[in-house]
Each structure stands twice: as structure tokens, then as C-alpha cells.
């Protein structure tokens, strides 16, 4: 039996004992070496050839990933490692995540399945914007970080630092990481979760050259920082890799510092699940109980040409057996599990059953989407919605090249939306035009590539279009919205929503999904955030980050009509009155209503248009504004290129926030509108002869400059087939 087969057999045995399981991920900025590291860990654990490690990029088994040299999907792999601390075998479930900002959604979803993550920081570049984002995401999900400072050889050989300077650089990176950890954790975890050199929660090395070192491993192997420095300087990293292999050091670090599922779930469940912890399901998940109800969180859907849709995710309690029935919460019917498997790179190894605490792949859950809660208990409270730090800002319109493919394209788009919730899909079966919204140009390119190559549908696509939002300048109303039969009237006031409330909705502190369960607690939460107490008491509905409030008193029959008013509010927030774009950050108040006493005269066809007109009219009076998405741009370039880079940025309506020196490079941080950033990649390459490193992250929405608003609104309305001139308040008073 080969080493790989032997390991798979061992892995199947360890799966049954959660104290010997560690669920870890890699997370870092793009190009800081996550996939190379993951490869070397898998190779070291005997799951692939060691010569190919770091070159094969086993977890980048998608051909697009290999062509572009970046990770797009979060890939799973399980391996066995013998810990030198006690000589026992441990099962390590590893998820390699993407670093590119366009695929941030994959990182957030992967975090839900993990208990710990290896944060990689490049010794040369230090902490980058995406590193901060992944640390924040990990801590928000209570995933314990350990630190690996990678590319130490480049620090020594390219930057020619002395041994002293090398150690100073390490101290600086560790301090920066700890600063972020302290800022994102509650009091009780701040001290214990900081990374420290002396306890071995920090390692240093080169994933590409297959070596790493940590203080506990130094004691074991007798290698010192001086030796590391000399081996690198003398171009002898091969000996270093033999004496101190990266997989041993890092997997030892994971086993020592990442909590096992029994410990981790006690910390994590109260954060990621808001149900009753004293219920059967609550107790089972807190204790990672294999005999409790089955609870599975789907963090990723993989489309397999043979098995169809495979749901990957974390089993928090109970067990999953082939043929078992599970409910996808929010869906009416149970789904039957067809296969249960563990993942090793691109391979899935079928097993008979899996118990709580493992990361597992299940086929047959056809209703599951990424982020879905699956359980044997159909009345279970679902897990908290996974909130992303960014939202889609770029859209393309796509249609099938051949009419015969139209029905197939609609199915494919639904599948794509299921597999990647960061992509928003709007399907228009009447016009045949479908809108695909994503995090950036690259995100949409990859998605289109998958539609053509994986799903075999030829498509035509438009140039990328920017996604805007609508809001208002001040307060508007009361505005009267009349029903078509003139028997019902609704009086609306609108004003901008307090920024503190918008932020709380974005960070998921305020639950906006489904029915409002505890109006009193919500009212207190909102008034603590600065909202007027009476308004806070009247909140009846949320849509995105907009709030609908009932401020009326004692109006007969209003409670019967309220569901229709909420529906009208939803519609108005989806399609604003200025450019038919989504509305953001709005407070809508119903202050009075006159209703016909006979219910036949206040049906949906009367109430919905009246409420919607009332909202639109009040928005016109308040002064409508268009919000455009911004992107934060980080550029690292040689000093003599600085002028070319700033010229390139200034031509794109950007504001430069900061310019500073880092060794012999210049770092420029700027904010620019997404609309101006198309084609930036080739422009910056041309301006700097390819010598600039750059990255972007989405930076929210700001008001579009007044002088551009008329033109942009006209263009959007023309594109959508609307009258180029938006209607004024008079149009809605009809």
C-alpha cells in the first residue's frame, strides 16, 4: 500500500475522534504564497509527489487558475500528520482560499467551516490591504489565527538585509498583525489569541523552497536565526528544507494552537448561530455531539461533471450517512444524501459516514446553495447569514449566442448563482438579456469563462457596466400617494438613514432577514445607535440597508394592508425613481393613511402603486442623488516611476490619500471611482513597464459629483429603455 493510500485509511479512522481533528485554512493577500504553501503541506503529509509540490499547485486544479497563476476557488484537502509533541496522528482538514479581492466572498464562506487559519504575510511586502480584510473576517467568525512570515529568502537575498534588520522586520510584522487582532476581538480573547514568537504561534520560512522555522522547532532541531540567515545567503535552502521542512513546522503549529472542534465550537457557535443554546440543537453544536441532530453548513457548491452539484461544508453536530434525508432550511422538501466524501485536492474519497467536527463533501443536496443551513431538524434556526465586506459593483449583460441555448443558459445562470453567492444574477426571460453582477472585472471574466467552458453554453456579453445606488440629500414629504381608484391614500416621509445604523446592518449586527422576532430589542438597538425612539419602535421591515417605519396611530384596517405596503417598499428599494437602480441608506416613514372600508377596494393593484408613488414622490422632494462605487487602490512602484503612476491616477478622478517610502519602493494609496478603473491594469503596466505591484479593494459608495449626475443618469436610463429624463414629484401625485 502506497503512502497516500495508507494516509487515506488513517484519515478515515481519525475522522471519528474530534479531539484529533484540526480544521484550518490559509488566508492572505494575493501572491503571498498560500497555494504553494498548501501544496507543500499536502506533499509533506504524503498526499502528492514532493518534487511537484509548489509547482503542481494541486489545489489550483481549475485550468483557469493554472492559466492565470492565481487561486479562484477555495479548495479543500484532508491529510494526516504525526505531531512530534505526543507522537500521535492528527487529521488536518485544509482549505486554501483566494487572495484576490474579487473572490473575497469565497474567503468569507470558507471561514465559516474553519477553527483556525494560517495568515501568510510576505516578509518583503508586509501587511497588505487584503491581509487586513482576511484577519478581520477570520476574527469576526472567531477563527483563531497563527502567523507564517513567508519569502524570508527574498528578504535576505534581494533586499540584502543584515541578520539584525531581518529580525527587526519580523518584529514589525508581528506587531502589526497583533494590532489588528486586538482591534477585532472582545476583551476575553485579546490576550490569548495574539501571535507570539516564543510560544510557536509564529513561523518564518519560504513556502516555495519548502522550509520553515519556529521557536519550538529551533529547540528541537538546533537551528538558529543565524543558521537560517547563512543558509539563505549561501544559496543552500535545500539543506534547510531537509532539516526543517515546512509541513512539519506548520502542521505542528496548527495542532498546538488551533483548537479542536470540541473546544472551538464552544467559542464559535454563540457567534455564528443566534438560536437557543439550551435547545437540543444548541447543546449538540456547542458540544460537537455526534449523537445530536445533524447540522451542516454549506460553504461551497462544486459542480462535478459526474456527480453533479457537490455541497462542501462543515458538520457541526450529528452524523451524515449515505441515503439520509436532510432539510435545506427555507426549502419545503427534504433532500436525500447520495454520497458522503472527504476531499484530497481534486479527488473526493467516498466514505460510509462522517461525524461532527469534520469538513465534508455531500452530493444529492440539490436545493443547497453556498451559505445554506442543512439539518435533520427542519425547524432549526438557520446559521447567521454570511456577510461580505464587499458587494457587487460591476455588471455585464449576457445572452446566449444561439437561440436554442436560451433555456440551458437560464439553468446555468441559476447554478452559477448557487455556487457563488457573490455573483448576483438577474434573469429576464422575456428579453433574453441576463445581468451578471460581480466584485470586479476579473470576477466576471472568470464567471463567463466557466459558463462557456464548464457548462458549454456560448454567450455574447456587453462591456462591463458599473452598478450605482440611489439615495437622497435631505428630508422629503409628507407626500400623498393615491391608489388608481382614488379611494386609498398613503402619506410618506423619507430621510437618509443614520450612518451608524447603515454600518450595523452591513456588519450583520442588526438582523434584516425574515420577520422581526423581537421588536422591543430591535427598537432599543436602533435608539442606542442614535435613531429617534418613536421611529425605532415603529420599524416593520428592512430591504438591503433601508428601513420601513410605521408612524401611524389607530388607522382602521391598516394592519390588513401592511403586508402590501411592505411589498411596495421592497419594490421601490429595488428600483429607485432616479435611474431605476437599487436604493441605499433610506428611511421610509408611513405617517398617515386613508383607506377604503371595503377590502375589495384595497387589493394589491391599489395599495402597491399608491405606496410606491408616495415613496418616489417624497424622494423627489428630498432631492435624489446617485451614489457611485469607489475602489481603494494600493500601488507599490520604484521611486522613479512615481510621477507616471500619480499621473495615471489623476486622469481617473482619483484622490491620493497617502504616499510613503518602503525601503527603495514608493507606496501610493488612492481612492478612485470604479467607473474610471476599467482598463487600469494594462494602463499601469504600460506606464511602469510592468514594474508596479498593485491591488484594489472595494471602498463603499459616495455621492456622484453634481456636474456628472445628469449625464450618468441619462445614460443609465437610455440603456434600460426608459425616458432619459427622470420624472419629478408632480408625476407621482397623479
Helix (H, G, I), strand (E, B) or coil at 557: coil
Which pLDDT tens digit goes with each residue over 185-197? Answer: 888 888 899 999 9
The pLDDT assigned to 386 comes to 65
Q: Cα(173)–Cα(179) distance, rounded to whole angstroms?
A: 10
Q: Among 56-60, 192-196, 576-580, where is mean pLDDT lowest?
A: 56-60
Same domain, 284 and 356: yes
Q: What confidence tens digit (pLDDT) does each residue in 105-148 have? A: 567 778 888 999 999 898 888 887 677 778 888 888 899 999 99
Written as nine digits, the cell of 43 is 506533499
* DSSP 8-class letter at 143: P
Pair (553, 642) in one structural domain: no
> Final residue of a domain: which of 310, 344, 375?
375
Helices (H) and strands (E) in the chain, counts: 25, 33
What proportions of the chain, in percent to the nearest 5, are helix, strand and coil? 40, 30, 35
Give the pLDDT of residue 495.
94
CATH number at residue 519: 3.30.230.10
Residue 74, pLDDT > 60, answer: no
Same domain? 415 vs 503: no
Q: Which pLDDT tens digit goes with each residue over 523-575? A: 998 999 899 999 999 999 998 889 999 999 888 878 888 999 999 999 999 99
Distance CA 663, CA 648 (A): 23
Examine residue 723 and state whether it is found in any structural domain, yes or no: no
Residue 478: its pLDDT value, please? 92
Q: Which of 375, 402, 421 is the last residue of a domain?
A: 375
Residue 55 pLDDT > 60: no
Residues 630 and 616 in one domain: no
Q: Within 10 A of 694 (CB to CB), how many other CB atoms are there?
A: 16
Radius of gyration, alpha carbons of the chain: 27
C-alpha cell at 656: 491620493
pLDDT of residue 367: 84
More confident position, 387 or 450 = 450
Q: How far apart (Å, rounded) are the C-alpha atoms in residues 318 and 288? A: 8
CB 698 within 8 A of CB 129: no
- The dihedral built from the CA positions of residue 194, 195, 201 and 207, taken in this order, carries a sign that is positive
* Residue 265, number of CB atoms within 10 A of its CB: 27
Average pLDDT, the chain: 83
Q: How far is the C-alpha of 542 from the C-alpha of 512, rounded, in Å?
A: 6
Phi and psi, residue 687, nearest 5°: -70, -25
Give the Cα separation of 168 and 1 in Å (integer).
Answer: 48
Among 198-212, 511-525, 625-639, 678-692, which range has the highest average pLDDT?
A: 198-212
Name the band, by pLDDT with cuts 50, 70 and 90, for residue 50: very low
Lowest mean pLDDT among 247-261, 299-313, 350-364: 299-313
Give the residue from 436, 467, 498 where a domain finishes.
467
Phi-psi region of 252 (alpha: psi -120 to 50; beta: other; left: phi over 0): alpha
Domain assignment present for residue 708? The answer is no
The pLDDT, as a whole number, for residue 49 is 41
Residue 364 and residue 454 in one domain: no
List Cα–Cα distances, 488 to 309, 468, 619, in angstroms.
49, 33, 20
Residue 712 lies in a domain: no
> Is residue 36 scored above 70 in pLDDT?
yes
- In a domain, residue 387? The reply is no
Q: Contact at 8 Å (CB) between 90 and 255?
A: yes
Structurally, the chain folds into a number of domains equal to: 5
In sequence order, what are the residues at sequence separation of 6 or more whose Cβ sits closer than 8 angstroms to the Cβ of residue 651? none
Give me the mean pLDDT over the 654-659 stretch: 88
Percentage of the chain surpassing pLDDT 90? Answer: 30
The answer to whether residues 116 and 143 touch, using CB atoms and an 8 Å cutoff, is yes
Residues 283 and 237 in one domain: no
- Provide the residue range defining the domain that includes 566: 470-622+728-732
Residue 317: give its domain's CATH number. 2.40.30.10
CATH code of the domain covering residue 648? 3.30.70.240
Q: What is the mean pLDDT of residues 346-353?
A: 77
Residues 280, 235, single domain; the answer is no
Alpha carbon 67 to chain centroid distance? 24
User: Do 611 and 496 share a domain, yes or no?
Assistant: yes
The closest alpha carbon to 487, from 605, 613, 596, 597, belongs to 596
Is 127 part of any domain?
Answer: yes
The answer to whether residue 112 is domain-embedded is: yes
Residue 336 has pLDDT above 60, yes or no: yes
Across 600-605, average pLDDT: 87
Determine the average pLDDT of the residues in 387-407: 75
Which of 335, 327, 417 is CA-nearest to residue 369?
417
pLDDT given at position 45: 56
- Are 289 and 367 contained in the same domain? yes
Q: Are 330 and 291 in contact (CB under 8 A)?
A: no
pLDDT in tens, 145-182: 999 999 899 888 888 888 888 899 999 999 999 999 99
Q: State the average pLDDT over residues 344-364.
A: 82
Q: pLDDT tens for residues 472-527?
A: 999 997 999 999 988 899 999 999 999 999 888 887 788 777 677 788 888 998 99
Q: Which helix (H) or strand (E) holds 647?
A: helix 642-650
Least confident segment among 6-15, 608-617, 645-654: 6-15
**For the domain that residue 50 is a member of, what is the CATH number?**
3.40.50.300
187: CB partners within 8 A, 6+ apart: none
pLDDT of residue 568: 94
Q: Give this prediction's pTM.
A: 0.67
Q: What pLDDT digit, counting tens, does each position of 623-653 carry?
A: 999 999 888 888 878 888 888 888 888 888 8
Does pLDDT of 2 surpass 60?
no
Nearest-5° angle of CA 86, CA 92, CA 97? 145
Do residues 39 and 67 both lie within one domain? Answer: yes
Q: What is the pLDDT of residue 491?
A: 94
Residue with the three cell numbers 474567503? 107
Q: Are residues 362 and 299 in the same domain?
A: yes
Q: Is 478 a domain residue?
A: yes
- Is 634 domain-assigned? yes
| 676 lies in the same domain as 544 | no
Region 692-698: mean pLDDT is 72
pLDDT (average), residues 706-716: 91
Question: How is residue 42 annotated by DSSP?
Answer: H
Segment among 68-72, 353-357, 487-491 with least mean pLDDT: 68-72
Q: Is residue 440 scored above 80 in pLDDT?
A: no
For residue 95, the model assigns a pLDDT of: 79
pLDDT digits (tens, 9 = 90+) for 314-326: 999 999 999 999 9
Q: Report the 10 Å Cβ neighbour count for 518.
A: 10
Amino acid at each position: 500500500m502506497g503512502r497516500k493510500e495508507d494516509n487515506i485509511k488513517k484519515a478515515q479512522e481519525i475522522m471519528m475522534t474530534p479531539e484529533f481533528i484540526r480544521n484550518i485554512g490559509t488566508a492572505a493577500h494575493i501572491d503571498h504564497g498560500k497555494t504553494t504553501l498548501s501544496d507543500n503541506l499536502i506533499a509533506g503529509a504524503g498526499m502528492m509527489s514532493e518534487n511537484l509540490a509548489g509547482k503542481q499547485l494541486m489545489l489550483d486544479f481549475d485550468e483557469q487558475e493554472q492559466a492565470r497563476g492565481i487561486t479562484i476557488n477555495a479548495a479543500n484537502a484532508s491529510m494526516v500528520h504525526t505531531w512530534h509533541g505526543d507522537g500521535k496522528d492528527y487529521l488536518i482538514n485544509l482549505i486554501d482560499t483566494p487572495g484576490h479581492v474579487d473572490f473575497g466572498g469565497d474567503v468569507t464562506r470558507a471561514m465559516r467551516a474553519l477553527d483556525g487559519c494560517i495568515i501568510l504575510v510576505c516578509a518583503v511586502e508586509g501587511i497588505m490591504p487584503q491581509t487586513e480584510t482576511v484577519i478581520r473576517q477570520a476574527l469576526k467568525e472567531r477563527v483563531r489565527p497563527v502567523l507564517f512570515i513567508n519569502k524570508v529568502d527574498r528578504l535576505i537575498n534581494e533586499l540584502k538585509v543584515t541578520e539584525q534588520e531581518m529580525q527587526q522586520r519580523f518584529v514589525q510584522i508581528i506587531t502589526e498583525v497583533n494590532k489588528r487582532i486586538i482591534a477585532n476581538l472582545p476583551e476575553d480573547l485579546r490576550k490569548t489569541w495574539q501571535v507570539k514568537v516564543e510560544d510557536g504561534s509564529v513561523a518564518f520560512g519560504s513556502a516555495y523552497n519548502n522550509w520553515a522555522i519556529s521557536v519550538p522547532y529551533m529547540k528541537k532541531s538546533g537551528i538558529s536565526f543565524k543558521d537560517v540567515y547563512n543558509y539563505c545567503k549561501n544559496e543552500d535552502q535545500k539543506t534547510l528544507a531537509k532539516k526543517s521542512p515546512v509541513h512539519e513546522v506548520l502542521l505542528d503549529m496548527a495542532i498546538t494552537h488551533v483548537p479542536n472542534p470540541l473546544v472551538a465550537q464552544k467559542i464559535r457557535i454563540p457567534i455564528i448561530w443566534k438560536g437557543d443554546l439550551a435547545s437540543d440543537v444548541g447543546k449538540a453544536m456547542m458540544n460537537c455531539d455526534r449523537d445530536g441532530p445533524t447540522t451542516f453548513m454549506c460553504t461551497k457548491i462544486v459542480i462535478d461533471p459526474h456527480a453533479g452539484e457537490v455541497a462542501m461544508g462543515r458538520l457541526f453536530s450529528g452524523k451524515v450517512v449515505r441515503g439520509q434525508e436532510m432539510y435545506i432550511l427555507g426549502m419545503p422538501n427534504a433532500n436525500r444524501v447520495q454520497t458522503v466524501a472527504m476531499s484530497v485536492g481534486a479527488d473526493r474519497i467516498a466514505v460510509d459516514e462522517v461525524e461532527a467536527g469534520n469538513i465534508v463533501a455531500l452530493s444529492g443536496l440539490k436545493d443547497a446553495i453556498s451559505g445554506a443551513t442543512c439539518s435533520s431538524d427542519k425547524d432549526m434556526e438557520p446559521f447567521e447569514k454570511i456577510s461580505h465586506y464587499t458587494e457587487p459593483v460591476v455588471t455585464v449583460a449576457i445572452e446566449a449566442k444561439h437561440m436554442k441555448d436560451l433555456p440551458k443558459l437560464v439553468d446555468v445562470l441559476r447554478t452559477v448563482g448557487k455556487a457563488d453567492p457573490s455573483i448576483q444574477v438577474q434573469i429576464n426571460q422575456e428579453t433574453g438579456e441576463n445581468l451578471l453582477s460581480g466584485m470586479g472585472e476579473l470576477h466576471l471574466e472568470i464567471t463567463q469563462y466557466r459558463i462557456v467552458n464548464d457548462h458549454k453554453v456560448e454567450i455574447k456579453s456587453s462591456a462591463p457596466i458599473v452598478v450605482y445606488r440611489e439615495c437622497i440629500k435631505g428630508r422629503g414629504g409628507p407626500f400623498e400617494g393615491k391608489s388608481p381608484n382614488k379611494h386609498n391614500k398613503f402619506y410618506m416621509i423619507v430621510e437618509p438613514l443614520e450612518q451608524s445604523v447603515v454600518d450595523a446592518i452591513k456588519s450583520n449586527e442588526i438582523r434584516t432577514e425574515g420577520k422581526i422576532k423581537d421588536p422591543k430589542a430591535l427598537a432599543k438597538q436602533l435608539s442606542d445607535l442614535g435613531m429617534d425612539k418613536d421611529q425605532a419602535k415603529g420599524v416593520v421591515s428592512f430591504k438591503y440597508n433601508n428601513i420601513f417605519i410605521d408612524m401611524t396611530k389607530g388607522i382602521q384596517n391598516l394592519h390588513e394592508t401592511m403586508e402590501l405596503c411592505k411589498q411596495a417598499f421592497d419594490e421601490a428599494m429595488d428600483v429607485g425613481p432616479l435611474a431605476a437602480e437599487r436604493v441605499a441608506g433610506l428611511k421610509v416613514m408611513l405617517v398617515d393613511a386613508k383607506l377604503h372600508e371595503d377590502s375589495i377596494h384595497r387589493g394589491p393593484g391599489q395599495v402597491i402603486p399608491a405606496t410606491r408613488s408616495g415613496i418616489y414622490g417624497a424622494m423627489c422632494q428630498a432631492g435624489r442623488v446617485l451614489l457611485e462605487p469607489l475602489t481603494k487602490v494600493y500601488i507599490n512602484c520604484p521611486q522613479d516611476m512615481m510621477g507616471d503612476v500619480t499621473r495615471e491616477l489623476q486622469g481617473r478622478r482619483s484622490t491620493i490619500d497617502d504616499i510613503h517610502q518602503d525601503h527603495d519602493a514608493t507606496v501610493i494609496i488612492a481612492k478612485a471611482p470604479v467607473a474610471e478603473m476599467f482598463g487600469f491594469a494594462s494602463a499601469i503596466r504600460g506606464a511602469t513597464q510592468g514594474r508596479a505591484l498593485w491591488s484594489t479593494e472595494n471602498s463603499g459608495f459616495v455621492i456622484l459629483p453634481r456636474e456628472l449626475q445628469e449625464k450618468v443618469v441619462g445614460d443609465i436610463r437610455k440603456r434600460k429603455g426608459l425616458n432619459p429624463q427622470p420624472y419629478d414629484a408632480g408625476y407621482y401625485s397623479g
